Amino acid sequence: MAVRREASARRPIVSSSQIIILVVVGVVGALLLFVLSGAAASANQASNNRSVVIESDQQATRPSAAPVGVPPSAPAMLPTIEEVITTPTPRPTNARPAGPYVGIVAGHWGNDSGAVCPDGTTEQQTNLEIAKRVAERLRARGVWVDLLQEFDSRLTGFQGDVLVSIHADSCDPIDADPPATGFKVARSQASAIPTVTDKLVDCLRGEYEKSTGMRFHENSITRDMTSYHSFREIDPNTPAAIIETGFLHLDYDMIVKQPERPAEGIANGILCFLKTQL
């Protein structure tokens, strides 16, 4: 027992103040570790955010790559109205459209110049400008139109509701009585349907006079008109006519400078005839 007391007497004594100091140091150390850990986490998050922003900016400015093997597409080129009108409409051989079908021949087109005026204006140019406008007007009314050249292969055996060939007369001064001014319309003398074709001629004559104010120059209708080569090439049961829109010498202002008026007369004449066939 005495020995135990002596050992107890020698044990060091820890004061309460020392305990308090140790507790405070521990708490401060824990707080310091917590603060340092939070700062490090914030720094890492900020770094990650900067990386994301940079990557996003790079993606926004980086041009998108086209799929491998696929060339960049070029903008579609739409045909002009000139191309649409003057390009023959492809159609299976011997096929007929459901609605009215009209052939318009632009005289001398694809073959020769026809008459040539002192200023260089040609009959072919004059005929084609009028013919294109006729085609435009008829198509706007739902008529299927083929614009044909002078010796177009499609004229062989042509079967349609109407065929009209557009021409113009000479640029040279002509000593004639009545004066060489005005228009002419004629059909084939060998037509298999003369009564029907006469209706086409009458409609063309009446509507052309109305649109242009020009008079009918019947005295100058020639055999070249009534025996026009296309009349022998087409199906004889197709109503067909040839029109000389005017004399390039005295009717120049009308048929060259105002082609929409002759075109209106021809288109209206064709529509007038089609109505008689309903």
Instruction: Return the percent helix, strand and coil in the chain, to nearest 5.
Output: 50, 15, 40
Q: Is residue 99 within 8 Å of residue 144, measured between CB atoms?
A: yes
Q: Is residue 249 within 8 Å of residue 175, measured between CB atoms?
A: no
Note the pTM of the prediction, 2 decimals: 0.67
Q: What is the average pLDDT across 243-260?
A: 97
Q: At what angle do helices 194-212 and 260-276 cross, to 10 degrees?
A: 140
CA-to-CA separations, 211 to 95, 144, 167, 261, 268, in angstroms, rounded: 34, 23, 17, 6, 9
Confidence of residue 34 (pLDDT cuts 50, 70, 90): low
**What's the pLDDT score for residue 174?**
85
Confidence of residue 96 (pLDDT cuts 50, 70, 90): low
Q: Indicate the DSSP class of residue 220.
A: G
Distance CA 266, CA 273 (A): 11
Q: Percentage of the chain surpassing pLDDT 70?
A: 65
Distance CA 164, CA 29 (A): 109
Least confident piece of the model among 89-93, 100-104, 174-178: 89-93
Distance CA 243, CA 201 (A): 9
**pLDDT value at 124 more than 70:** yes
Cα atoms found within 13 Å of the Cα of residue 142, Cβ hemisphere only: 4
**What's the pLDDT score for residue 7?**
40
Confidence of residue 115 (pLDDT cuts 50, 70, 90): very high
Q: Indicate the DSSP class of residue 190.
A: T
Least confident piece of the model among 24-28, 71-75, 113-117, 232-236: 71-75
**What's the pLDDT score for residue 189?**
86
Distance CA 219, CA 177 (A): 9
Confidence of residue 1 (pLDDT cuts 50, 70, 90): very low
**pLDDT value at 20 more than 90:** no
- Say which residue, 140 or 30, is predicted with more confidence: 140
The encoded tokens of residue 256 equal: 């060259």
Distance CA 271, CA 268 (A): 5
Q: Return mean pLDDT, the chain.
A: 80
CA 11 to chain CA centroid, nearest Å: 110
pLDDT, tens only, 49-63: 444 333 444 444 444
Query: Would you kindly state where each structural domain of the chain is located, as residue ranges?
Result: 20-53, 97-276
**pLDDT value at 90 more than 60:** no
Q: Is residue 185 within 8 Å of residue 243, measured between CB atoms?
A: yes
Q: What is the average pLDDT across 69-79?
A: 46
Q: Please list the alpha-helical segments (H only) found in the chain.
A: 2-10, 16-61, 81-86, 123-140, 194-212, 223-226, 229-233, 252-255, 260-276
**What's the pLDDT score for residue 51?**
44
pLDDT, tens only, 207-242: 999 999 999 998 889 999 999 999 999 999 999 999
CATH class entry, domain 97-276: alpha beta
**pLDDT value at 17 more than 70:** no
